[in-house]
Homo-oligomer: A and B are copies of this chain.
Amino acid sequence: MTRQREMILDEFLRIEGHLTAEELTLAVKKRDSTIGQATVYRILKILVDSGIAREVRLGSNVVKYEHNIDHEHHDHLICERCGKTIEIVDQRIEELQKGLAEDHKFIITGHIMNIFGICEECRGR
């Protein structure tokens, strides 16, 4: 356990929502500008592996991270125009997914579901 790890973990947990590696780096550098980019990447990987963080990819190729503890599993509903993202979960879908996997004799380990659309606000304009 190093000073850097404590600081990066702490900062990650302090920030709610989805954030990129770069955004986390920026936040951490405000506290200690000597922390290196590579270290943030390294520790983000550790956080994902240990189940503290989760990767989120909402369309595009931008990788973001979000809390994976004290934060129930959920999927995302994304507005294609403004990028607004709503966290959703539907137990019936989760069940059907499990069933589909079983039909093919898979043991399910996870899933990603992004629903894309246009939000009401964006339609207004």
Residues of A within 8 A of B (CB): 57, 59, 61, 63, 77, 79-80, 86, 88, 90, 92-93, 96-97, 100-101, 104-120, 123
Contacts and interface: CB of A to CB of B under 8 A. Distances in A.
Copies of this chain, count = 2
A117 B113 contact: no
B115 A97 contact: yes
A97 B63 CA distance: 24
Nearest to A99: B90
Contacts of A117: 101, 106-110
A106 B79 contact: yes
B100 A119 contact: no
Contact of A111 (B63, B108, B115, B118): B115
B107 A111 contact: no
A99 to B, nearest CB: 8
B93 A106 contact: no
A125 to B, nearest CB: 14
B104 A86 contact: yes
Contacts of A86: 104
A109 B123 CA distance: 13
Contacts of A123: 107
